[in-house]
Structure 1
């Protein structure tokens, strides 16, 4: 059984940080060069939608969908359910991630994306949980540093539920 706990980040706080981050990021990429914004399905969909609408420049969008089988917290097998659809060779790529914890899954995804030879590859996360980090991955941009708790809402789920909530909540497990 699970129960919603306190709101950690409100819809207004998320919107404000997205607008701030969009301004910062669009200043870093030359407007005449392609920027591919790549999101990991499903958790990043709301974030992707709001973030790309806040950018005042053209972008190309693509998605990865992964499957993760876990033997233990440190032993994961990642499969690509949906791989890249557009060529990214020689293009700037900004990877949007919902939550970065251990860094193990992200490290594997970054290696996969790098195999397509983008001009640059940076990571933007909605929530960063550096206390969980096991692999030293570079997170270039982060909207929030989260407490070490399980969260839902704004695309984040528990058993495919709660994604549609506009705020991000702590989820209490019982």
Structure 2
């Protein structure tokens, strides 16, 4: 899907497919440099991070393992509920692994803070966070994020894995959802 398919639901495009591809390649180069000689376990947070994990994994120049978690703190609205539930846990034992949590977006940071603590308690050699998008104005907790694609305004965004009520994930860009869609 592209912007012409959702033009009535879109306020504006924040990042094009080309801009995202370029930034993903830059993040992958940083990750390759920082993890040289070490195996990485990419932990994707479902469902939103699927696109980011896939593209980062393809852009890396080293072998990586991948695993997935599904956690929920969102309803069908645009604000975090603050309640975290594990819907799917990891299949991989984290003891002595170099874990890189990969997210699509960090809003309040509450869910990711909880997730990071949960994974850290499982004995990894290291644990870091990579996110494509971060909303600094929405942060409610201090969170150490090593790799950030873009800092964005506190607006509701869709595309490239990000959804509203399970729609718009398959857009090839990131855009701002028009308020009439979610109000």
With normalisation by structure 1, the TM-score equals 0.93
Work out whether 1:108 is the aligned partner of 2:138. no
Q: Take 1:49 and 1:75, find their aligned partners in 2: how far apart are those partners?
A: 27
Q: Take 2:20 and 2:151, find their aligned partners in 1: how far apart are those partners?
A: 12
Residue 52 of structure 2 corresponds to 47
Q: Which runs of 4+ in 1 moved over 4 A?
A: none
Work out whether 1:65 is the aligned partner of 2:64. no
Secondary structure at 1:81's aligned position in 2? Answer: strand
Q: Take 1:25 and 1:77, find their aligned partners in 2: how far apart are those partners?
A: 31
Alpha-carbon displacement from aligned partner over 1:78-116 (angstroms, at most 9, x marks no partner): 111110111111111111011111111111101111111
CA change 1:69–1:148 in 2 (3 A) is: closer
Q: Take 1:123 and 1:158, find their aligned partners in 2: how far apart are those partners?
A: 24
CA change 1:173–1:69 in 2 (3 A) is: closer
Residue 175 of structure 2 corresponds to 169
With normalisation by structure 2, the TM-score equals 0.88
Residue 143 of structure 1 corresponds to 149
Which ranges in structure 2 are unaligned for 5 or more consecutive residues? 1-7
Q: How many residues align?
A: 170
Which ranges in structure 1 are unaligned for 5 or more consecutive residues? none
RMSD: 1.5
Residue 5 of structure 1 corresponds to 11
CA change 1:10–1:75 in 2 (3 A) is: closer
Alpha-carbon displacement from aligned partner over 1:146-174 (angstroms, at most 9, x marks no partner): 11110000000000000000000100112
Secondary structure at 2:9's aligned position in 1? Answer: strand
Q: 1:98 aligns with which of 96, 101, 104?
A: 104
CA change 1:27–1:69 in 2 (3 A) is: closer
Answer yes or no: is the 8 Å Cα contact 2:45–2:102 preserved in 1: yes
Q: 1:36 aligns with which of 41, 49, 70?
A: 41
CA change 1:3–1:166 in 2 (3 A) is: same
Residue 128 of structure 1 corresponds to 134
Q: Take 2:23 and 2:74, find their aligned partners in 1: how far apart are those partners?
A: 33
Residue 20 of structure 1 corresponds to 26
